[in-house]
Structure 1
Amino acid sequence: MSSLLSKKEVIRHREFRFLGMAAETNNQAEFKGEGVIPSLWSDFYANHVLERIPNKINSSMIALYTNYESDETGAYTFALGTEVVEGHDVPSGLEEWVVPESKYVVFTTRRGPVQEVVVEAWQEIWEWSKYNERAFQFDFELYDLRSVDPMNGQVDIYISVK
């Protein structure tokens, strides 16, 4: 199978603050259609969460994966939000994390329907994970100007590595 992703070398990404709405889930529940990720995305848009987040750095959206119980088989926290500057009150219903400086491998999806290309990318990342050491600290998807059109978007997925 040829790769649908472009993969960059290991990079160091600076520390940043993230603010967003979060829920705990696991991949087994998500695969069975019993997970929280689709409803969190719906709520995020329906409740205009991005507009409610104070002190945004830019208009990019981030899907954050953290609080890993173990690896891709365990529970984790999934959050939707954005990068913010320090020094603000956290609005009700939102949570804040400081994502430390870390090493990442950045995967870039092909252009296409965002829901489709992100799922494809994760399938390839899980395959890649069998032969590479993930850190299971903070991973995130970056939705920037390239993903404004949900039918022809492109997303960068940052996977923390040891």
Structure 2
Amino acid sequence: MKVTRIKKLMISGISVVTNNEFEMSEENGKIAALWEEYFANDVYKKTFDKANSDFMYGVYNDYESDARGNYKITVGVEVTKPKNAIVIEDKKYLVFTKQGELPMVVVELWEEIWDYFEKNSEYERAFEIDFEKYAKENEIEIFVSIK
């Protein structure tokens, strides 16, 4: 785990609104279906102004409140122009990394993150824009916005 600052990152893709309670049940969860839709509809090929990056992202924003409220998740890629993109500028993040089999490693790392913030007061979550970066096969980095 490390602290980093993101100077500027723009992500474009497709989105859905959900919450963690929905995601804990197979019949109500929307995130897995969003990833499936992204690939099934070749959204990557339809995305304009893609950056020279091989990374996929899952971006969480528009938090209603905290980890219990609704939020928007976007599955996408980095782009070079802000039109129709989520723009992350000058934000401070706590970065968590984990290796393992997708998609279970994502769930496991989010559980570790929730546990970390429940038990530690060194950093406080900002609930602004958090994101998952799929950097390598079977490795994920989760950037959690902090105050």
| TM-score under structure 1 length normalisation | 0.83
Measured in 2, the distance between the counterparts of 1:61 and 1:20 equals 10
CA displacement at 1:60 relative to structure 2: 1.1
Residue range with higher mean Cα deviation, 43-52 or 23-32: 43-52
Q: Does 1:22 align with 2:7?
A: no
Deviation sequence 1:110-154 (CA, Å, 0-9, x none)? 2x211111111000000012124100000000112x12xxxxx10
Tell me which stretches of 4 or more aligned residues in structure 1 moved more than 6 Å: none
C-alpha distance in structure 1 between counterparts of 2:112 and 2:13, whole Å: 27
Higher strand share: 2
Are 1:127 and 2:115 an aligned pair? yes
Residues of 1 paired with 2:131 and 2:70: CA distance? 16
- CA positional deviation for 1:109: 0.7
Tell me how many residue pairs correspond in the alignment: 142
Deviation at 1:96, TM superposition (A): 2.0
User: Residues 88-126 of structure 1: CA distance to partner in whole angstroms, max 9, x if unpaired?
Assistant: xx6xxxx4221122000110012x211111111000000
Identical aligned residues as a percent: 37
Q: What SS does structure 1 have at the residue aligned with 2:81?
A: coil
- Equivalences for 1:1-162 in 2 at 5 Å? 7-8=1-2, 10-33=3-26, 34-57=28-51, 58-86=53-81, 95-110=84-99, 112-130=100-118, 131=120, 132-144=123-135, 146-147=136-137, 153-162=138-147
Give 3-state SS (helix, strand or coil) of 2:58's partner. strand
Instruction: Give ranges in structure 2 of 5+ residues lacking alignment.
Output: none
TM-score normalised per structure 2: 0.91
Q: Over aligned residue pairs, what C-alpha RMSD do you find? A: 1.3
